[in-house]
Amino acid sequence: MTNTLRENCADILCIGTQKSSTSWLHHVLNAHPQTAAFPNMAPITSTNKEAHFWDWNHKRGLDWYRELMTPSDPSLLSMDFTPEYSMLSDEKIAECKSVNPTAKVVYVLRDPLARAVSALRMHMLWRVRKSGETDVEIKFDDDLLALIQHARIIDMGSYVANYQRWAKHYDNILVLNYEDIINDPEGIVARLYAHVGLSIDTMNDEDRAEFDKRMQKRVWASVPYPIHKETAYFLHGLLWPKRQAAENFFDFAFNEYRDVLSAAI
């Protein structure tokens, strides 16, 4: 059987947002025997989770993406969980739709301030690995604006605009709140499985044991570099309109920002 017989390159698309437990959701979803993750080709891909075709790897061509995303058993559901996809242009989303016409799309949202701080810490970690710096803190200094721009804090946090671009092409996008993942992981995973057409009840004992183990695992956590109060409150003001827009549009309540502000030094 050739990959051209598959209706979609990717059957399940998670389009973000970054730092909202998408790695954990991918890990839990991949416990099901009817799903398949592509081979880890880092640094071309980001582990076996993020193909980055529509941003980093678009130049490699559609045949490359089809081959990457086609499981050894083509009947399995292939997954591409790339958070940067949320920021794609309308043109790129239309192209994505053309090769993934019936894909199930998932969009996970997180309090904009908490997500931004976690993303900045991740970028600081990458810097530390290159430079060997110690005693790293996220300060309110001349470097902060460059870091915010490099991490695309505003674009990634524009949840309503990002969703609306995708919704022009895909119906029934499952939108989840990160805080619900933390407070009710079983309920969120049940919603995710139902959205992509899978059932936990169909797993055999071995697969179910692996699933249960993954439910208890944390896949990735940013190093908690201290953040200065001036930085936290600057980001709080910068992202407040994004929070209000998302809460009103999606009927969500974000509360993490309170913990971020109280923990700032």
Each residue's pLDDT tens digit, 160-187: 999 999 999 999 999 999 999 999 999 9
- The H or E element spanning position 168 is none
Residue 245: give the domain boundaries.
3-263
pLDDT value of residue 2:
43
Of residues 67 and 222, the one with the higher pLDDT is 67
Query: Is the pLDDT confidence value at 219 over 80?
Result: no
pLDDT value of residue 223:
83
pLDDT value of residue 124:
84
Q: 107, 85, 96: which is closest to 249 by C-alpha? A: 107
What pairs with residue 50 in β-bridges? 46
pLDDT value of residue 1:
38
Give the chain's domain count. 1
pLDDT value of residue 218:
78
Q: pLDDT by residue (tens digit) across 230-239?
A: 999 999 999 9
Share above pLDDT 90 across residues of the chain, in percent, rounded to a whole number: 88
What pairs with residue 13 in β-bridges? 80, 105
Q: pLDDT by residue (tens digit) across 115-161?
A: 999 999 998 887 777 777 767 889 999 889 999 999 999 999 999 99
pLDDT value of residue 198:
97
Q: pLDDT by residue (tens digit) across 78-123?
A: 999 999 999 999 999 999 999 999 999 999 999 999 999 999 999 8
In CATH, what number is assigned to the domain containing residue 108? 3.40.50.300
What pairs with residue 177 in β-bridges? 109
pTM over 0.85: yes
Sort 152 into a burial class: Cβ within 10 Å, 0-12 / 13-18 / 19+. Answer: middle
Query: Is the pLDDT confidence value at 221 over 90?
Result: no
Using DSSP, how many helices (H) and how many strands (E) does the chain show?
12, 5
Q: Are 37 and 79 in contact (CB under 8 A)?
A: yes
pLDDT value of residue 166:
98
Q: 46, 36, 32: which is closest to 11 by C-alpha? A: 36
Query: Is the pLDDT confidence value at 3 over 70?
Result: no
Query: Is the pLDDT confidence value at 51 over 50?
Result: yes
